Structure formats: C-alpha cells, structure tokens
Amino acid sequence: MFHKEGYKIMAITAVSLLVINIGSYSLINQYWVKFAILLASIVLFILIVQFFRNPSR
C-alpha cells in the first residue's frame, strides 16, 4: 500500500503534527488560528501520504 521507506517519514510527520496541534489547542486562544493550523496539518499529512503510496498497476 505504501512504499517501505515512507513508513518512518509518515510516522515522524504524524507525531510532529500531533504535537504541534496539541500545543496550538492549549496555547492559542483564537479559534481561527487553531483551525488554520489544523487544516494545514491535515493537508500536509495527506500530501505526504499521497507521495509514498504505491499505485496499483
């Protein structure tokens, strides 16, 4: 399903984005800033997952 070298990068990215999102939700008071960070994190993770996928041939 995914390229074997991509698992480590996807795991590191997921943990990093999780820490960033938890930090933003606990430290930032504006809702729109929290939402923007969350949206950017989701888009970034989707792009990384799409990069490492193995398409069926």
Question: Given pLDDT bands bounded at 50, 70 and 90, which one contains residue 55?
Answer: confident
The pTM (predicted TM-score) of the whole model is: 0.86
DSSP, residue by residue, 9-51: HHHHHHHHHHHHHHHHHHH---HHHHHHHHHHHHHHHHHHHHH
22-49 pLDDT, tens per residue?
A: 999 999 999 999 999 999 999 999 999 9
DSSP letter at 3 equals -
Query: Per-domain residue ranges for the chain?
Result: 6-51
d(CA 57, CA 38): 34
What is the per-residue pLDDT for 54? 84
